Amino acid sequence: MDNHMKLEIPSKSQNEAFARVVVAAFAAQADPTIDEISDIKTAVSEAVTNAVIHGYENGFGTIIVTAALKDRRLEVSVTDYGVGIADVEQAREPLYTSKPELDRSGMGFTIMENFMDEFTLTSAPGKGTTVTMVKIFSQIKTGRDA
Partner 1 sequence: MRMAGELDHHAVTGLRDKIDNKLTLDNLKNIIFNFSGVDFMDSSGLGMVLGRYKLVSAQGGKVLACSLRPRVQRVFDLSGLQAKIPVFLSEQEALKNV
Report the residue number, 105 or 139, with the smaller CB distance to partner 1.
105
Tell me the C-alpha distance between 39 and 45, whole Å.
10
Report the residue number, 3 or 61, with the smaller CB distance to partner 1.
61
**Contact set with partner 1 (CB under 8 A):** 13-14, 16-17, 38, 41-42, 45-46, 49, 52-53, 97, 102-108, 110-111, 114
Q: DSSP letter for 135, please.
A: E
Please, what is the minimum distance in Å from the beta carbon of residue 71 to partner 1? Answer: 26
Please, what is the minimum distance in Å from the beta carbon of residue 104 to partner 1? Answer: 5
Please, what is the minimum distance in Å from the beta carbon of residue 121 to partner 1? Answer: 15
Q: DSSP letter for 30, please.
A: G
- Using a 10 angstrom Cβ sphere, with 0-12 exposed, 13-18 middle and 19 or more buried, the burial of residue 138 is exposed
Q: Which residues are catalytic?
A: 46, 50, 104
Nearest to 75 by CA among 34, 116, 33: 116
For β-strands 2-10 and 73-80, DSSP reports them as unpaired
Report the residue number, 59 or 127, with the smaller CB distance to partner 1.
59
